[in-house]
C-alpha cells in the first residue's frame, strides 16, 4: 500500500463514517449544522484531488457505440479526427479527443488529424505531442498518422473534402505533398474514410460534419461535445451520428471503457476520469444528504403525529 | 393526393423551370463565346500554357436589389451559379465579387465559395450609385459576368417587414391600455393573490417588531436592465410601508446609477408617509461594480447586521444562491424575485417566497392596489390568451397537417409561423 | 414642474424608442442611446465613488465598529485608482491599454481580484449542497416533484445512474436514469422555461407601458 | 479572553512569511523576480483561504479580504469605465485637443454634437450634490428609465414572447403511419416513436398549463385551477432539473480553487 492508498482509505472511511454518525445523531433529533455539510463537501472534493479516485464509469450506450465502432474496425482502417474546438472548450472536450486518438492508434488504425477551428490547431499540436509523441514513439508521421492542420472556410472545407480531399489539403502541415503521404493511399475523399470523429460543439462542428459529409457521403460520424450542447445533438442519434460523448462524463466513460479493454491505459493520464472523481464523490455526498434530510423529516413528522 | 387549391403551388416551380431553361440557353451562348481564342488571349494572366485550360462558364442572372426596409444601407445580390459549379468534380473553384462605386475603379468586395448564390452588401451610402459583377474562376481561367445596372440603396420610412410585430405590439399594448382605462373609470377587476406579495406586509412588520433592519438588494445590473427597473418600482412600494412603520432599511447597491435612483425612490416614499426628516442618504450605499466583490460585502452585512427581512428583487446571476443561503443562515425572511430562469431554482430552494418571472414585473402594480395599475395585469392576461390560442391552433394544425398531410392545415401552420416570426 | 418635465422626458424617450423599431432611419437609435447610457453611468461613478469614500471615511473618523477595515477599503481604492488613472507601472505608458500585459494594474487584478472573485464564486459548491439538504424534502406534492426531478438529474450525472439501471434493455432505455435525465431536460424542463419566458415578455411589455404612460412613477421622487 | 485572537493573528502572519520564503525559494532559478513571485502566490493563497474562512463564520481575515476586495475592485471598474467609455468612446467624438492628449484617434463626424447630450445629462446628474438644484438630477434618471422601458418593450416582446410561441408549433403525432404501425412498433426506447410523441405532448401541455398558472385575473378554481396546478408541477420539474444540472458546474469551480491551493501554492500534486 502506498501513501496515496492510505490517504485515500482514511479519507473515505472518514467521510463514510461521518455520514453514518450524522444519520444516527439525526435520528436522535439533532439538527445538522450547515458547517458540517460544508466540511463534507470540502472533503469529498479535496480527497480525490489529493489522492486520485476513479470510479468505474460504465459506458452508456451512446458512448459505447463510439467505442465499439473504433474497436470493430479492421487494423489499418482510416479514422479522421477533427479538433473543432477552441481553448475555452478544451478542458471539457480535449480528453475525448485524446482518448479516441489513443484507442485508434492502439488498434493500428491510420489516423488523419485536422481542425476546423483556427485556434484548434495549437490544441491539436499539443495533443499530438503529448499522446502520440510520448505514448506511441514508434509510430511514424505520414505512415501511421498525418496532421493536415487547419483550413479556413468552415463548412466550405467539408463541402470540398467530401468529394476531393487533396483539393483542400494538397499537403500536410509540414508541406509533405499529398501523394507521398502513405496514410492517404487509396483515399480520394471523405467517402473512403472509415470513421469520422468530430470533437467540438461550436460552429462549425459536429452538426456541419453530419450535414455536409456524413449524410451526403454516407460516412459514419461520431461526436464528442460539451455537456451544454449535448442535448441538441441527441436528435441526430443514432441515425446520423453513431454515438455521442457528452461533456466530462462522456469522456470519462470512454476512458474507463478503454481501460477495461486495454488495462495498460490505467497507467496513463486519464484527465476526465480524474475530473469525475471530485464530481462523483460530491454528487454522492449531496444525494446522501438529501436522503438523510428526507428520512429525518419523515421520522420527525411521525413522532409529531404520534404525540 | 393534392387538393385543387394547391395547384397554385406549382406556379413557382414552373417559373423556376422556365428560368432554368432560359439560363441554360444563355449559358451555352456564353460558353461558346469563351471558347473564342481571341477572348482567351486577351487576359494574359489567365492563359497558362503548360497545363490544359479549364474553361468555366460565368454566373448568370446577376441581380442587384435594394434591401427594401432599411435606412438606405444595404443592397442584396443574387445570381445563378456557373453551370460548372457542381457538388462533385466542380471546375469552378470559387467566385470573386467586385463592386464599382460611382463609376470608379472596380474593387474586390468578397471571395465566395462554390455554391454561393447570394450576397448582402451593407453599410452603403444612399447618395452613391453601385454596380457589381462576379468572376467565376477555375484553376487557370476567369469568367466574368455582366455588370448589374447601377443602383443606389434607398431609404425607407416604414419597415413593412415588421408589420406583424407591430400588430402584436399594438394588440397587447392596446389591451393593457384599454384595461387601465376601464379600471380608471371604476370597473371592478379581480386579481388573484400572489403569495410572495401577500407576505410583504408581514415581513416588514416582523422587522419592526424585532427592531432589525430590512435589506433590499436590487440585483447586480444597472438601470438599463428592465429587471432592475422592476426592482426599483417594488422598492417604491416597499419603502412606503417601511416609512409608515418607521423601520430601518439598508440597501447596498452595485451600480452608482441604481444608488441615485434608489435614493430618489426612498426619499419620495418617506415624503409621502409624512416623515421626510427620517430619510437619510445613508440608507443606500454604493459598494462596487464587481459582481463577487459586491456579494462579499453583502454577505458581510448580512452576518453582521442580521436583517430580519431580505428582499432580492432584480437581475441575479451566479450570486443568487450565495446571497440567499447567507440570508437564510441568519434567519431572515426572504422574498425574492427575478426574471432569469436559470436563477429561479436557487431562490425557490433558499427563499421563503419567490416571484417567478412575470410576477416580478406585476409586483409593483399589485402592491400599489390602485385600480389602474391592476388593470394592466388584466391586459397581460389578454396576451397570455393570445399565446395559448396560437399555441393550441398551431399544435393541432401541425399535428393534423403532418400526420395526415392535410394541405389546409399546413397552410394554417405556415401562416401562424409568419405571424409569429420576427424580422 | 419638478415632476412634470421628467415624466414628459420618460414618455417622449420611451415612445420614440418603440416607434424607432419600425422606422428604418431611426433604427440604430436604441444602440446610440445605450452609448449615452454608458457615458451617463461613468458620470454616476463620481457619485458612487464619492459615496464609497465618504461612508468609509466617516466610519474611520468616528471610530465606529470595524473602522480599521474601512481604512483597508480606502487605501485599496485610492491606490488602485491612482495606478489605473495614471497608468503607473505600465510598461507602455499613457497610450497603452490599462490592462497591458505585465502592468501593475493587471498584476493586481491577477493576484488580488481574480483569486478573491474565483473563491467567492466557488463558495457556491458549498451553498448548493446546504440548500439542497434543506430544500429538497418531500413536504408536500410540489416539493416532492422538485425533489424527484433534481434527484434523477443528479443520479444521471454520476456513474450510479448507469450502474443501477444499465441492465434495462435498449427497447426500454428511456427508463435508464441517464436517458430519463436527458428527457427531463429536453421536455418538461423546456416547457417550464418557455412558459416562464412568455410570461416575462408580457410582464415587461405591461410594466414598460405603465412607466412610459407615467402611471408608475415612484422612482421619480416627491415634489420637493 | 483577548489572547486567542492575538495568537491566531501571529500564527497567520508567521505562516504567511514562511510561505513567502518557501515560494521564493521554489521560484529561484525559474523566475527573475522570485521574491516578488513568492509574495504574489502567497497573497493569492492567503486571500483564497480568507474567503473560505467565511464558511465557518465571520472573522477578521474575511473582513480584511472583503474590504480589500471592495476597495480595489470598485477602483478597477471605475478606471476601466474612464479609459474605455470616456477616453475610448466620448473624447474622440467631442474634442480634438483631448484626443491628442490621450493619444486616441479623433473621429470628426457630423453626428458628434449628438454626444453632448449625455455629457449634459451626466452633469445634470451631478447636480444631486447640490441641495438647491438636486431635483435636476431627475432628468437624466427620467431619460434612462424611458430608454430602458422603450427599448425593452419591443425586445422582450420579440425574444421572449413571439419567438417562444412559434417555437412551440410542434406536431403531437411524430412520424405517424397509422395506429397499427404505432402499436406494432411500440417501445420505450429513448429514440422511439412513443417517447418522441410523449415529449412533444409534455412540451405542449407544459407550456399551456404553465401559462394558465400565470393568469392574474381569473380565479384558479375548477378545471382552470386543475390546469394551473399542472402548471405548477411543470415549473417545479423545471426548477428541480435546472438545480440538479447546475451542481456539476459549481463543483468544477471548487475543484479549480482547490487545485490552485494544492498545486500552485502547496505543490502537493504535480
Coil/strand/helix, residue D64: helix
Tell me which residue in B89, B113, B115 faces A163 most closely, judged by beta carbons: B89
Phi/psi of residue B139, nearest 5 degrees: -70, -20
Q: Which residue from D32, D172, C193 is spatially nearest to D182, judged by alpha carbons?
A: D172
Residue B41 has pLDDT above 60, yes or no: no
Is pLDDT above 90 for D63? yes
Give the cell for residue D162.
Answer: 413571439
Mean pLDDT in residue range A231-258 = 84
- In percent, the amount of chain B with pLDDT more than 90 equals 53
- Distance (Å) from the C-alpha of residue D136 to the closest C-alpha of chain C? 8
Q: pLDDT band at D232, cuts 50/70/90?
A: very high
- Highest average pLDDT, of B282-291, C210-219, D243-252, comes from B282-291
Tell which residue, B65, B66, B43, has the closest CA to residue B53.
B43
Digit-coded pLDDT (tens) for C4-42 = 899 999 999 999 999 998 988 887 788 788 888 989 998
Average pLDDT estimate for B158-183: 92
Rounded to a whole number of angstroms, the distance from the CA of A125 to the nearest CA of chain D is 22
Q: Are the C-beta atoms of A87 and A123 separated by less than 8 Å?
A: yes
Convert A177-201 to b/e letters by CB count within 10 Å (16 or more is b): ebeebebbeebebbeebbbbbbbbb
Q: CA torsion B247→B253→B255→B256, rounded to 10°?
A: 50
First to last CA, chain D: 43
Q: Does position B36 have pLDDT exceeding 60, yes or no?
A: no
> HEC string of chain A?
CCHHHHHHHHHHHHHHHHHHHHHHHHHCCCCCCHHHHHHHHHHHHHHHHHCCCCCCCCCCHHHHHHHHHHHHCCCCCEEEEEEECCCCCHHHHHHHHHHHHHHHHHCCCEEEEEECCCCHHHHHHHHHHHHHHHHCCCCCECCCEEEEEECCCCHHHHHHHCCCHHHHCCECCCCCEHHHCHHHCCCCCHHHCCEEEEEECCCCCHHHHHHHHHHHHCCCEEEEECCCCHHHHHHHCCCCCCEEEEHHHHHHHHHHHHHHHCHHHHHCCCHHHHHHHHHHHHHHHHHHHHHHHHHHHHHHHHHHHHC
Top-confidence residue, C219 or B243: B243
Question: How far is it, in rounded angstroms, from Cα B73 to Cα B124?
Answer: 4
Helix axes C114-135, A34-50, angle to 10 degrees: 120
Which of A300, A302, A296, A208 has its CA nearest to residue A32? A296
More confident residue, C176 or B31: C176
pLDDT for position B26:
47
The answer for residues whose C-beta is within 8 angstroms of residue A91's C-beta and 6 or more apart is none
Helix B256-272 / helix B226-245 crossing angle, nearest 10 deg: 40
Choice between A86 and C42, residue whose per-residue pLDDT is larger: C42
pLDDT (tens digit per residue) in D114-147? 888 999 999 999 998 888 888 888 999 999 999 9
Q: What average pLDDT does this structure show over D236-243?
A: 92
Could you tell me how far CA C11 lies from the centroid of its own chain?
Answer: 28
Average pLDDT, chain B: 85
Q: How many whole angstroms separate alpha carbon D131 and alpha carbon A211?
A: 67
Chain C residues whose beta carbon lies within 8 Å of the beta carbon of residue D241: 149-150, 152-153, 181, 184-185, 188-189
Neighbours of chain C (3+ CB pairs under 8 A): A, B, D
**SS3 label, residue D155:** helix
* β-pair partners for B334: B310
C127, C132, C151, C214: best to mutate for the B interface, most B CBs within 10 A: C127
Verify whether the Cβ–Cβ distance C153 to D81 is below 8 Å.
no
State the pLDDT confidence band at B74, using cuts at 50, 70 and 90: confident
Residue of C nearest to D67 (CA): C73
Q: Test D255 with A275 for CB contact under 8 angstroms.
A: yes
Distance from CA of D132 to the nearest CA of C (A): 10
Which of C134, C173, C185 lies closest to A61 in CB terms?
Answer: C173
- Quote the CA–CA distance of D270 and D10 in Å, as a whole number: 31
Banded model confidence at residue B423, pLDDT cuts 50, 70, 90 = low
Please state, rounded to an integer, the average pLDDT across all residues of chain C. Answer: 89
Phi and psi based region of residue D255 (left: phi greater than 0; alpha: psi -120 to 50; beta: remaining):
alpha
What's the rounded Cα separation, in Å, for the pair D125 and C12?
19
Taking only the tens place, the pLDDT of each residue in B76-109 is: 888 888 888 776 667 888 888 999 888 888 888 8
Q: B132 has which bridge partners?
A: B99
Cβ contact (<8 Å) for B329 and A34?
yes
Contact (CB, 8 A) for D162 and B168: yes
Q: Do the beta carbons of residue D37 and residue D31 sit within 8 Å?
A: yes
D143 Rama class: left (phi>0) / alpha (psi -120 to 50) / beta: alpha
pLDDT-based confidence at residue C224 (cuts at 50, 70, 90): very low
Give, in order, the Cα–Cα distances in Å from D180 to each of B261, C171, D183, D184: 66, 18, 5, 6
pLDDT of res. A235: 67
> Does B200 reach chain C within 8 Å, measured CB to CB?
no
Cell of D238: 423545471
Chain A residue whose CA is closest to C157: A249
Q: How confident is the model at residue C112 (pLDDT cuts 50, 70, 90)?
A: very high
The residues near A20 (Cβ < 8 Å, ≥ 6 apart) are none
Three-state SS letters, B328-383: HHCCCEEEEEECCCCCHHHHHHHCCEEEECHHHHHHHHHHHCCHHHHHHHHHHHHH
Distance of alpha carbon B350 from alpha carbon B34, whole angstroms: 76
Cell numbers that stand for B225 in this block: 436592465
Q: Among all residues of chain D, which has the CA nearest to that of C86?
A: D79
Higher pLDDT, B235 or A273: B235
CA dihedral B237, B243, B248, B249 (to 10 degrees): 30
B18 CB neighbour count, 10 Å cutoff: 10
C222 in contact with B at a CB cutoff of 8 Å?
Answer: yes
Buried b / exposed e along D141-162 (16+ C-beta atoms within 10 A): bbbbbbbbbbbbbbbbbbebbb
- Which of these, D145, B225, B264, lies nearest to C9 by C-alpha position? D145
Three-class SS string for B110-153? EEECCCCCEEEECCCCCCCCEEEEEEEECCCCEEECCCCCCECC
Tally DSSP H helices, then E strands, for chain B: 12, 13
**Cell numbers given for B40:** 482567351
Q: What is the pLDDT of residues A137-157, one digit of tens each?
A: 999 988 999 999 888 777 778
Count residue pairs from B and C with Cβ separation < 8 A. Answer: 220
List, in sequence order, every residue forming a beta bridge with A149; answer none if it has no partner.
Answer: A114
SS3 track for B234-257: HHHHHHHHHHHHCCCEEEEECCHH
Mean pLDDT within B355-378: 93
Helix (H, G, I), strand (E, B) or coil at D250: helix
pTM of the model: 0.84
Q: Who among C37, C108, C197 is closest to D147 (CB)?
A: C37
Across the interface, do D47 and C115 touch by the CB < 8 Å criterion? yes
Which one has a higher pLDDT value, C101 or A82? A82
Q: Closest to B114 (Cβ–Cβ): which among A34, A159, A216?
A: A159
From chain A, pick out residues whose CB is under 8 angstroms from the CB of D248: 227, 248, 279, 283
- Smallest CA-to-CA distance from A39 within D48, D250, B295, C125 is with C125
The closest alpha carbon to A49, from D261, D49, C122, belongs to D261
Residue B74 in contact with partner chain C when CB distance is under 8 A: no
Taking the C-alpha atoms of residue A110 and residue A47, their distance in angstroms, rounded to an integer, is 40
- Longest CA–CA separation in chain D, Å: 84
**Total length of chain C:** 224
- Report yes or no: B174 at the A interface, CB cutoff 8 Å: no
C-alpha cell at B237: 412600494
Query: Is B339 within 8 Å of C203 when comparing Cβ atoms?
Result: yes
Give the E-state strand segments of chain D in sequence order. Answer: none
Name the average pLDDT for chain A: 87
Asked if the model's pLDDT at residue B379 lies above 90, the reply is: yes
Minimal CA–CA distance to B77: which of B124, B143, B22? B124
On whether any CB of chain A is under 8 Å from the CB of C130, the answer is yes
Q: Rounded to the nearest 5 degrees, what angle is found at the Cα of A97, between the Cα atoms of A95 and A99?
A: 65
Of B224, B388, B413, the CB nearest to D147: B224
pLDDT (tens digit per residue) in A179-225: 889 999 888 888 889 999 999 877 788 888 988 888 888 899 999 98
CB contact under 8 A, A159 and B115: yes
For residue D237, the chain C residues in CB contact (below 8 A) are 145-146, 149, 184, 188-189, 192
Quick check: C42 and D81 in contact, CB under 8 A? yes
CA D62, CA D56: separation in Å to the nearest integer? 10
Instruction: Record the cell numbers describing residue C155, joined without a space.
Output: 443520479
Question: What's the pLDDT score for residue A208?
Answer: 86
Amino acid at each position: 500500500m502506498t501513501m496515496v492508498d492510505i490517504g485515500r482509505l482514511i479519507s473515505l472511511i472518514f467521510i463514510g463514517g461521518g455520514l453514518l454518525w450524522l444519520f444516527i445523531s439525526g435520528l436522535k433529533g439533532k439538527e445538522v449544522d450547515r458547517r458540517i455539510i460544508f466540511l463534507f463537501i470540502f472533503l469529498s472534493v479535496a480527497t480525490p484531488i489529493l489522492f486520485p479516485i476513479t470510479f468505474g464509469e460504465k459506458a452508456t450506450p451512446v458512448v459505447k457505440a463510439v467505442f465499439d465502432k473504433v474497436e470493430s474496425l479492421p487494423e489499418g482502417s482510416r479514422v479522421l479526427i477533427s479538433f473543432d474546438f477552441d481553448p475555452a472548450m478544451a478542458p471539457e472536450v480535449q480528453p475525448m479527443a485524446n482518448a479516441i486518438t489513443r484507442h485508434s492508434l492502439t488498434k493500428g488504425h491510420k489516423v488523419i488529424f485536422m481542425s476546423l477551428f483556427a485556434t484548434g490547431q495549437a490544441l491539436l499540436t499539443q495533443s499530438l505531442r503529448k499522446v502520440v509523441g510520448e505514448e506511441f514513439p514508434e509510430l511514424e508521421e505520414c505512415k501511421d498518422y498525418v496532421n493536415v492542420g487547419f483550413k479556413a472556410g468552415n463548412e466550405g472545407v467539408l463541402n470540398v473534402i467530401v468529394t476531393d480531399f487533396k483539393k483542400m489539403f494538397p499537403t500536410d502541415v509540414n508541406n509533405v505533398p499529398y501523394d507521398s503521404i502513405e496514410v492517404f493511399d487509396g483515399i480520394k475523399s471523405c467517402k473512403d474514410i472509415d470513421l469520422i470523429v468530430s470533437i467540438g460543439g461550436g460552429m462549425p462542428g459536429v452538426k456541419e460534419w453530419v450535414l455536409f459529409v456524413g449524410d451526403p457521403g454516407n460516412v459514419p460520424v461520431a461526436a464528442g461535445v460539451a455537456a451544454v450542447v449535448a442535448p441538441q445533438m441527441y436528435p441526430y442519434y443514432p441515425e446520423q451520428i453513431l454515438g455521442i460523448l457528452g461533456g466530462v462524463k462522456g469522456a470519462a466513460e470512454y476512458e474507463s471503457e478503454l481501460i477495461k479493454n486495454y488495462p495498460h491505459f490505467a497507467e496513463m493520464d486519464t484527465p476526465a476520469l480524474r475530473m469525475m472523481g471530485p464530481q462523483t464523490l460530491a454528487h454522492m455526498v449531496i444525494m446522501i444528504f438529501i436522503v438523510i434530510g428526507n428520512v429525518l423529516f419523515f421520522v420527525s413528522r411521525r413522532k409529531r403525529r404520534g404525540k | 393526393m393534392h387538393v385543387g387549391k394547391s395547384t397554385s403551388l406549382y406556379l413557382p416551380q414552373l417559373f423556376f423551370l422556365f428560368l432554368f431553361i432560359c439560363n441554360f440557353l444563355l449559358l451555352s451562348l456564353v460558353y461558346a463565346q469563351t471558347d473564342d481564342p481571341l477572348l482567351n488571349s486577351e487576359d494574359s494572366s489567365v492563359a497558362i500554357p503548360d497545363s490544359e485550360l479549364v474553361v468555366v462558364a460565368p454566373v448568370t442572372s446577376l441581380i442587384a436589389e435594394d434591401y427594401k426596409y432599411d435606412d438606405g444601407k444595404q443592397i442584396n445580390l443574387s445570381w445563378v451559379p456557373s453551370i460548372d459549379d457542381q457538388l462533385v468534380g466542380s471546375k469552378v473553384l470559387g467566385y470573386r465579387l467586385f463592386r464599382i462605386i460611382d463609376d470608379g475603379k472596380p474593387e474586390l468586395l468578397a471571395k465566395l465559395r462554390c455554391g454561393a448564390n447570394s450576397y448582402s452588401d451593407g453599410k452603403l451610402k444612399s447618395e452613391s450609385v453601385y454596380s457589381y459583377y462576379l468572376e467565376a474562376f477555375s484553376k487557370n481561367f476567369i469568367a466574368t459576368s455582366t455588370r448589374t445596372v447601377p443602383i443606389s440603396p434607398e431609404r425607407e420610412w416604414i419597415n413593412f417587414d415588421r408589420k406583424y410585430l407591430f400588430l402584436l405590439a399594438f394588440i397587447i399594448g392596446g389591451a393593457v391600455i384599454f384595461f387601465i382605462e376601464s379600471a380608471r373609470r371604476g370597473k371592478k377587476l379581480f386579481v388573484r393573490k400572489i403569495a410572495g406579495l401577500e407576505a410583504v406586509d408581514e415581513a416588514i412588520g416582523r422587522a419592526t417588531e424585532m427592531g432589525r433592519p430590512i435589506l433590499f438588494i436590487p440585483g447586480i445590473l444597472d438601470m438599463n436592465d428592465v429587471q432592475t427597473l422592476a426592482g426599483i418600482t417594488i422598492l417604491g412600494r416597499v419603502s412606503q410601508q417601511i416609512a409608515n412603520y418607521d423601520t430601518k432599511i439598508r440597501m447596498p447597491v452595485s451600480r452608482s446609477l441604481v444608488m441615485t435612483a434608489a435614493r430618489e425612490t426612498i426619499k419620495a416614499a418617506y415624503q409621502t408617509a409624512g416623515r421626510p426628516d427620517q430619510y437619510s442618504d445613508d440608507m443606500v450605499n454604493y459598494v462596487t461594480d464587481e459582481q463577487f466583490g459586491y456579494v462579499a460585502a453583502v454577505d458581510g452585512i448580512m452576518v453582521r447586521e442580521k436583517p430580519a427581512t431580505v428582499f432580492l428583487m432584480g437581475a441575479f446571476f451566479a450570486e443568487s444562491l450565495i446571497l440567499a443561503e447567507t440570508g437564510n443562515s441568519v434567519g431572515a425572511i426572504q422574498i425574492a424575485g427575478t426574471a432569469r430562469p436559470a436563477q429561479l431554482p436557487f431562490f425557490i430552494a433558499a427563499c421563503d417566497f419567490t416571484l417567478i418571472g412575470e410576477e416580478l414585473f406585476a409586483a409593483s402594480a399589485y402592491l400599489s392596489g390602485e385600480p389602474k395599475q391592476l388593470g394592466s395585469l388584466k391586459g397581460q392576461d389578454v396576451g397570455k390568451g393570445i399565446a395559448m390560442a396560437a399555441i393550441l391552433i398551431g399544435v393541432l394544425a401541425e399535428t393534423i397537417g403532418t400526420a395526415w398531410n392535410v394541405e389546409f392545415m399546413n397552410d394554417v401552420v405556415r401562416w401562424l409561423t409568419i405571424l409569429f416570426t420576427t424580422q | 414642474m419638478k415632476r412634470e418635465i421628467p415624466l414628459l422626458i420618460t414618455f417622449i424617450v420611451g415612445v420614440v424608442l418603440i416607434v424607432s423599431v419600425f422606422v428604418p432611419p431611426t433604427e440604430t437609435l436604441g444602440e446610440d442611446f445605450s452609448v449615452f447610457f454608458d457615458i451617463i453611468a461613468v458620470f454616476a461613478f463620481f457619485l458612487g465613488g464619492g459615496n464609497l469614500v465618504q461612508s468609509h471615511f466617516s466610519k474611520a473618523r468616528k471610530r465606529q465598529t470595524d473602522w480599521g477595515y474601512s481604512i483597508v477599503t480606502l487605501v485599496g481604492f485610492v491606490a488602485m485608482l491612482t495606478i489605473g488613472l495614471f497608468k503607473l507601472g505600465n510598461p507602455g505608458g499613457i497610450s497603452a491599454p490599462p490592462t497591458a500585459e505585465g502592468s501593475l494594474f493587471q498584476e493586481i487584478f491577477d493576484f488580488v481580484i481574480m483569486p478573491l472573485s474565483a473563491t467567492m464564486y466557488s463558495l457556491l459548491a458549498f451553498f448548493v449542497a446546504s440548500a439542497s439538504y434543506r430544500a429538497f424534502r418531500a413536504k408536500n406534492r410540489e416539493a416532492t416533484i422538485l425533489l424527484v426531478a433534481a434527484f434523477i438529474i443528479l443520479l444521471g450525472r454520476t456513474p450510479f445512474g448507469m450502474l443501477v439501471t444499465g441492465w434495462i434493455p435498449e427497447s426500454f432505455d428511456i427508463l435508464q436514469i441517464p436517458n430519463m435525465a436527458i428527457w427531463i431536460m429536453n421536455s418538461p424542463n423546456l416547457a417550464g422555461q418557455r412558459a416562464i419566458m412568455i410570461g416575462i415578455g408580457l410582464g415587461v411589455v405591461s410594466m414598460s407601458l405603465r412607466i412610459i404612460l407615467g402611471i408608475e412613477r415612484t422612482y421619480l421622487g416627491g415634489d420637493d | 479572553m483577548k489572547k486567542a485572537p492575538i495568537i491566531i493573528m501571529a500564527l497567520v502572519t508567521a505562516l504567511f512569511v514562511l510561505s513567502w520564503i518557501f515560494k521564493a525559494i521554489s521560484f529561484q532559478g525559474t523566475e527573475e523576480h522570485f521574491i516578488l513571485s513568492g509574495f504574489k502566490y502567497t497573497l493569492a493563497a492567503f486571500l483564497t483561504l480568507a474567503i473560505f474562512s467565511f464558511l465557518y463564520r465571520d472573522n477578521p481575515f474575511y473582513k480584511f479580504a472583503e474590504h480589500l476586495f471592495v476597495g480595489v475592485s470598485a477602483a478597477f471598474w471605475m478606471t476601466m469605465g474612464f479609459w474605455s467609455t470616456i477616453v475610448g468612446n466620448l473624447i474622440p467624438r467631442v474634442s480634438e485637443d483631448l484626443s491628442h492628449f490621450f493619444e486616441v484617434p479623433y473621429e470628426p463626424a457630423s453626428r458628434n454634437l449628438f454626444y453632448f447630450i449625455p455629457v449634459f445629462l451626466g452633469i445634470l446628474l451631478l447636480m444631486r450634490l447640490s441641495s438647491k438644484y438636486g431635483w435636476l438630477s431627475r432628468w437624466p434618471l427620467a431619460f434612462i428609465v424611458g430608454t430602458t422601458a422603450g427599448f425593452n418593450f419591443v425586445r422582450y416582446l420579440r425574444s421572449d414572447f413571439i419567438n417562444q410561441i412559434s417555437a412551440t408549433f410542434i406536431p403531437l403525432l411524430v412520424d405517424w403511419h397509422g395506429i397499427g404501425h404505432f402499436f406494432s412498433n411500440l417501445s420505450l426506447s429513448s429514440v422511439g416513436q412513443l417517447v418522441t410523441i410523449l415529449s412533444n405532448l409534455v412540451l405542449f401541455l407544459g407550456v399551456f398549463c404553465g401559462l394558465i398558472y400565470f393568469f392574474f385575473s381569473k380565479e384558479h378554481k375548477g378545471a382552470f385551477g386543475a390546469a394551473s396546478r399542472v402548471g405548477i408541477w411543470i415549473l417545479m420539474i423545471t426548477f428541480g432539473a435546472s438545480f440538479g444540472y447546475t451542481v456539476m458546474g459549481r463543483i468544477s469551480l471548487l475543484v479549480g480553487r482547490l487545485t490552485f491551493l494544492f498545486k500552485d501554492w502547496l505543490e502537493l500534486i504535480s
